[in-house]
Amino acid sequence: MSYTKITIRYAAAFFDLAEEKGIVENAYEDMTMLGEVCTSNHDFVRMLQNPVINADKKNKVVSKIFGASMNRMSLSFISLMIRKRRERYLPSIAEAFADLYKASKGIKTAYVTSAVELAPQDKAGVLEILSKLTDKKIDLVEKTNETLLGGFVINLDNFQIDQSLSTKIKELKKDFEKNLFVRGF
């Protein structure tokens, strides 16, 4: 994902602070939880982005949702972002923090899109091949997209392997559009 400078700076600053305090693992879990809540609950994101709701109310909502399960420093960071009117960046900051954590641990994220959910043995095979190619641990994110019709698409860093049926059909259509018929034979 592409991030703005502000999200990268805040994520890096929070990562450095968590590293300094020795709670990187906890902060990663907290930022992952925040990212999941932001992804699954659009009302929460709208509440954060609403300029009419004051910072105190937003902080109360955040502490009600995350207070029991989140580290105190992570809650303080989120509270600071809300007080500084940077709450609209929290979903991206959480994602950027997760990327920084994975980079520090030598983990690469690969995205596999297939027409149907991958079978466990197929998933294990993809993980094995990608880890051999990169010499890194792989965090596999699966997506399903029925428009692929079959096959799969793998995205890793700036590299893509497209073995989907929809792409193969498009290539065949292009080949058939070329009129290779020569008169006289």
Contact 95, 125 (CB under 8 A): no
Per-residue burial over 32-48, b if 16 or more Cβ lie within 10 Å, else e, is ebbbebbeeeeebbeeb
Residue 139 CB partners (closer than 8 Å, separation 6+): 102, 107, 108, 109, 110
pLDDT tens by residue, 139-148: 888 999 888 8
pLDDT of residue 180: 67
pLDDT the model gives residue 184 = 59
Q: Looking at residues 87-106, what average pLDDT do you find?
A: 92
- Average pLDDT across the chain, whole number: 89
Could you read off the pLDDT of 58-88 as tens digits, one per residue?
999 999 999 889 999 999 999 999 999 999 9
* CATH fold for domain 5-103: Peroxidase; domain 1 (1.10.520)
Give the integer Cα–Cα distance in Å for 133 and 110: 12
CA torsion angle 116 119 124 129 (round to 10): -40
For residue 46, what pLDDT is reported?
93
Number of other residues whose CB lies within 10 A of the CB of residue 50? 13
Annotated domain spans of the chain: 5-103, 107-177
Maximum average pLDDT range among 40-44, 156-160, 172-176, 180-184: 40-44
pLDDT, tens digit, 9 for 90 and up, residues 117-141: 888 898 888 888 888 888 888 888 8
